Chains A and B, each alone.
Chain A
Amino acid sequence: MLPYTCCTRYIRHQATTKLIKNISCAVLQGTNIPEVIQVRKQSKINLRTNSNSNPGLASSIKKIYCNERDPGNHTLKDVGLMHEIPKEDQSSLVLKYDKGFRKKFLTEASAVDKLCIMVRKPGLELVNYLKYSNYSTAVNRYLMYGPAGCGKTMTMMYAVDYCKKQGWLIVPVFNPWTFIQYKNTYIVHQREEIVRSLWNKERVDHPEIAARWLENFRQINSGLLETVFTTREYTWSKHEKTKSGVSFSTLVDLGIARIRIATDVAGCIIREIINQDSPDFPRTLAAVDSANSIFGISTLKIEPGVYLEPQELALVHNFKKILSNKWKNGAVIVGLNTSGIPSQTKRIAKVSSEHPYDILGQEGFDILDPHIPIHVPHYTDKEAISHLAYYQDRKWLVGRSTTEAGEAEILQICGNSPTDICVYCGHLY
Chain B
Amino acid sequence: MTTVQKICVSLNMPRIRHIRVFSSVSSAGLVPKPYLPDNLMKKTKERIARHPSFLADTLEGEWSDIWPLPNQFNPYLVPLPLRMGHTQKFCVSPDKYTSVELLKVQNFLHLTPPAIKKHCAALKKFCTPFPKELKTQQDCEREFPVETHTVDYVAAGKTPRNPAARVVTKTIRLSNLVLDHHARLKLTQLAGKERYNRSNDILTIKVDRCPVKKQNQDFADYLLTALYFESWKTEPWESKENTSHSDGYYWWEDSPSYQNVKNLSLSWDSPAVEKYRESVREIKLEPEPEKLGILTEERKEAVSNYKDSVIKLLNLPVLA
Listed in ascending order, the chain A residues whose CB lies under 8 Å from chain B are 35, 76, 121, 124-125, 128-129, 132-134, 137-138, 140, 145, 324-326, 341, 351-359, 362, 365-367, 369-375
Instruction: With both chains docked as a complex, state the minimum distance between the C-beta of B27 and any C-beta of chain A, in angstroms.
Output: 65
Given A369-B280, A370-B310, A138 and B263 contact (CB-CB distance below 8 Å): yes
Say yes or no: A371 contacts B310, CB within 8 Å: yes
Task: Tell me whether B314 is interfacial, beta carbon within 8 Å.
Answer: yes
Closest 7 CB pairs between A and B? A353-B293, A369-B257, A366-B256, A354-B295, A370-B310, A138-B263, A128-B319
Given A370-B314, A371-B310, check contact A358 B261 (CB 8 Å): no
When distances are taken between beta carbons in the complex, the residues of chain B under 8 Å from A325 are 260, 263-264
Complex CA distance for A140 and B256, rounded to whole angstroms = 16
Partner of A134, one of B256, B276, B303, B315: B315
Q: Which residue of chain A lies nearest to B256 when distances are taken between CB atoms in the complex?
A: A366
CA gap between A277 and B252 in the complex, in Å: 31
Whole-angstrom CA separation of A404 from B259 in the bound complex: 57
Residue of B nearest to A147 (CB): B295
Min C-beta distance of B218 to chain A, whole Å: 38
State whether B303 touches A365 (Cβ < 8 A).
no
Q: How many A-B residue pairs have CB under 8 A?
A: 87
Produce 1/0 per residue, B273-294, CB < 8 A to A: 0001000100110000100111
Q: Which residues of A contact B313 (CB under 8 A)?
A: 370
State how many residues of chain B have any CB contact under 8 Å with chain A: 32
A355-B316 CB under 8 A given contacts A362-B245, A366-B255, A373-B303 = no
| Chain B minimum-CB-distance residue to A356 | B303
> In the assembled complex, which residues on chain A have CB atoms less than 8 Å from the CB atom of B257?
366, 369-370
Other-chain contact of B316, A132, A138, A356, A359 (Cβ < 8 Å): A132
Q: How many Å lie between the Cα of A351 and that of B291 in the bound state?
A: 10
Residues of B within 8 Å of A353, CB to CB, are 292-294
B299 at the interface (CB under 8 A from A): yes
A129 and B316 form a contact (CB under 8 A) = yes
Compute how far the CA of A138 lies from the CA of B280 in the bound complex, rounded to whole angstroms: 19
Give every chain B residue within 8 A of A341 (Cβ-Cβ): 292-293
Q: List 23 A-B contacts (CB under 8 A).
A: A35-B294, A76-B319, A133-B314, A134-B314, A137-B264, A138-B263, A325-B260, A325-B264, A341-B292, A351-B293, A354-B293, A355-B289, A355-B295, A357-B303, A362-B284, A365-B284, A369-B256, A370-B261, A370-B310, A370-B314, A372-B310, A372-B314, A374-B307
